[in-house]
């Protein structure tokens, strides 16, 4: 989207004024409505489709495979496909690397729930297809992953837990499924415009932002990875160090509400 110089200045001034005036009348921390559909792909263990009000859309499918975790230790693998972009384009690779990092076990996710027996675990494959996006898509993708994981059901284990001695493969119940309660961290993108911080920036707001922050949140606190990200190509600038702490505080304050809304959807 191209804004003229005047439009940009107008928008910049209104976003940096006190109190912040956003074009759609939102508060700085307010999100736009999103629609979430879960569990609609019959061939996957869990799935979700998320549609933002600006037409950004993302589909996530979750599939599982039984692996020997003494051989392979990566239990969660994310693969991202962005419509219209090559798999080796910088945006796809950066996003893949970031989300693999978000879902890394040392972070907020509890991988012990994937453990089947002393030897075998479920490995989860998360496939993301981003159909369209107007602003930085990582927040939308992580919300889609979060709700997809919440809707995931995996086959129920019927064999014994301790299989180190008996050397048997895990066997599963024929039709009973167990809900996987894996609470994935959610990523928030905060746009920095002057000294204001805006959550869930729309495309036009991203266009005038000086910088952006990607903040991961899990279980009541901000966790790593946290990093700055350029939300546009033309107006990237440095920002005051105080803003960093302010943005993290803002995420920690409002993330529980966002998560509650997401989980009740």
Partner 1 sequence: MNVQDRRRLLGPANARPIAFSAEKPVVEEPEKDQDKQESISLRKGLIENSNGSSLIEVSSKDRQFSLMASVYGPRALRGSFTSMASISIQLQNGSQEKYGPTQLREVATFLTSVFNAVVNRSRYPKSGIDIFVYLTYDRDLSQSSSSNISALIPHCITGITLALADAGIEILDLASGGYHNGNVFSFIKNGDEITGFWKDEGVSNDISDSLEICRQSYIRYKSLMVSTLMQK
Compute the least distance from the CB of residue 9 to partner 1, in Å: 16
User: How far is the C-alpha of 81 from the C-alpha of 129, rounded, in Å?
Assistant: 5
CB 95 within 8 A of CB 141: yes
Task: Candidates 124, 199, 222, 259: give the one binding partner 1 (CB under 8 A).
Answer: 222
Rounded (5°) CA angle 225-226-228: 135
Span of 25-33, 45-53, 94-102, 152-160 interacting with partner 1 by CB under 8 A? 94-102
- Residue 248 in contact with partner 1, rule: CB under 8 A: yes
Is residue 262 within 8 A of residue 36, CB to CB? The reply is: yes
Are 156 and 179 in contact by the 8 Å Cβ rule? The answer is no
- The least CB distance from residue 249 to partner 1, in Å, is 9
Which position among 2, 33, 42, 241 is part of the footprint of partner 1 (CB under 8 A)? 241
Closest to 200 (Cα-Cα) out of 145, 152, 255, 240: 255
Q: How far is the CB of 76 from partner 1 (least distance, A)?
A: 15
183 makes contact with partner 1 (CB under 8 A): no
Cα separation, 74 vs 130, whole angstroms: 24
Contact between 150 and partner 1 by CB under 8 A: the answer reads no
φ and ψ at residue 131, rounded to 5 degrees: -80, -40
Q: Which two tokens stand for residue 262?
A: 């997401």
Nearer to partner 1, 245 or 264 (CB): 245
Question: Which residue, 142, 226, 150, is CA-closest to 185?
Answer: 142
Q: What spatial distance separates the first Cα and last Cα of the chain, rounded to whole Å?
A: 31
- Name the residue nearer to partner 1 (CB basis): 165 or 233: 233
Applying CB under 8 A, which of residues 17, 53, 94, 263 lies at the interface with partner 1?
94
Question: If binding is defined by CB under 8 A, does position 132 make contact with partner 1?
Answer: no
Shortest CB 174 distance to partner 1, Å: 39
Kindly tell me the sign of the dihedral angle through the C-alpha atoms of 256, 20, 215, 130: positive
Residue 233 in the binding site for partner 1 (CB under 8 A): yes
Strands (E), 83-152: 120-132
Query: Of 98, 182, 204, 250, which lies in the binding site for partner 1, with binding defined by CB under 8 A?
Result: 98
Does 101 participate in binding partner 1 (rule CB under 8 A)? yes
The pair of structure tokens assigned to 26 is 């939102």
Nearer Cβ to partner 1 (223/265): 223
**Is residue 3 close enough to count as binding partner 1 by CB under 8 A?**
no
- Chain residues in the site for partner 1 (CB under 8 A): 90-91, 93-94, 96-98, 100-101, 106, 211, 213, 221-230, 233-234, 236-241, 243-245, 248, 252
């Amino acid at each position: 989207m191209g804004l003229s110089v005047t439009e940009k200045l107008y928008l910049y001034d209104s976003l940096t004024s006190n109190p912040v005036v956003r074009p759609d009348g939102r508060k700085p921390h307010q999100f736009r409505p999103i629609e979430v559909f879960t569990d609609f792909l019959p061939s996957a263990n869990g799935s979700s489709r998320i549609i933002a009000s600006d037409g950004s859309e993302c589909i996530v499918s979750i599939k599982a495979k039984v692996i020997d975790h003494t051989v392979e230790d990566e239990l969660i693998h994310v693969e991202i496909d962005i419509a219209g972009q090559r798999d080796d384009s910088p945006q796809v690779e950066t996003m893949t690397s970031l989300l693999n990092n978000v879902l890394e076990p040392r972070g907020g996710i509890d991988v012990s729930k994937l453990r089947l027996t002393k030897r075998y675990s479920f490995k989860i494959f998360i496939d993301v297809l981003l159909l369209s996006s107007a602003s930085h898509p990582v927040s939308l993708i992580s919300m889609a992953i979060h709700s997809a994981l919440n809707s995931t059901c995996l086959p129920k284990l019927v064999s014994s837990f301790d299989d180190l001695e008996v050397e048997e493969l895990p066997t599963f119940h024929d039709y009973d499924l167990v809900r996987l309660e894996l609470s994935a961290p959610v990523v928030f993108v905060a746009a920095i415009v002057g000294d204001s911080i805006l959550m869930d920036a729309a495309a036009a707001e991203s266009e005038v932002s000086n910088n952006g922050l990607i903040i991961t949140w899990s279980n009541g606190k901000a966790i790593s990875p946290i990093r700055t990200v350029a939300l546009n190509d033309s107006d990237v600038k440095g920002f005051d160090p105080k803003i960093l702490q302010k943005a993290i505080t803002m995420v920690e304050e409002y993330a529980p509400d966002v998560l509650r809304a997401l989980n009740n959807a």
